Structure 1
């Protein structure tokens, strides 16, 4: 099986982003148990050490918590999840703006174009 990874970004970071995306979208709910490191590594087609690093980083970000003898769980603190969602939004917007500016487009041009394409989909 496995996951298709982009060549220009570390695999562990792509896995972190994937799990955070699942939490933000609600695919993974607050308090939900994550697969074991070994099971997720097999599913993703990566080394167990890579998944261990992913879980460790998620815990340091306070997105997940490890319960001794039970495994890793999504935090039940919805405020932390909301903060991560906002931070991800800021990161995506910053990246978008940098790309737009690199091509010489103005923010106003892009806002206008985005509005023409359908506006926001909140």
Structure 2
């Protein structure tokens, strides 16, 4: 896990987002054990309390579960994965649209650019 931290957002939230991205990309799987809080803190060079808060928040959001004496595990629940993928996709699309509108593009221009780039991507594959 490599995170380029953005000073505009709380670090613990960025840790959560990175774990969610790893889940969506298949780098982490439901039921998989996460590194200990101390080990992850050392790896990403943050205070262990920051990782502790991220793990606690993820548990409250139903993303992970802590098994006493065994560690913290990604919740083995297909519905959780579906929700994470949906939420992350919706967020990415909203941010893209907001940025395009802030650059002065209209709806038709945005759709045309998306379609053109999707066609180009299909040709490259």
Give every structure 1 segment of 4 or more consecutive aligned residues whose post-TM-superposition deviation is greater than 6 Å: none
**1:112, distance to aligned residue in structure 2 (A):** 3.3
Aligned residue in 2 for 1:97: 97
Instruction: Calculate the aligned-residue CA RMSD, in Å.
Output: 1.8
Measured against aligned partners, the alpha-carbon deviations of 1:39-72 in whole angstroms (never above 9, x if no partner) come to 1101110001000011011112211111112110
**Partner SS for 2:65:** strand
* Alignment pair present for 1:111 and 2:114: yes
Higher helix fraction (1 or 2): 2
**Alpha-carbon distance in structure 1 between the residues aligned to 2:77 and 2:118:** 34
**1:114, distance to aligned residue in structure 2 (A):** 2.2
Measured against aligned partners, the alpha-carbon deviations of 1:7-49 in whole angstroms (never above 9, x if no partner) come to 3322212111111111111111111110111111011100010
1:3 and 1:45 in contact (8 A); partners too: no
- Return 5+ residue gaps in structure 2 as ranges: none
- Return 5+ residue gaps in structure 1 as ranges: none
TM, length-normalised to structure 1: 0.87
Written as runs of structure 1 = structure 2, the 5 A alignment for 1:77-96 is: 77-96=77-96
Aligned pairs, number: 119
2:3 and 2:18 in contact (8 A); partners too: no
**1:3, distance to aligned residue in structure 2 (A):** 4.3
* Alignment pair present for 1:74 and 2:74: yes
**Alpha-carbon distance in structure 1 between the residues aligned to 2:36 and 2:104:** 46
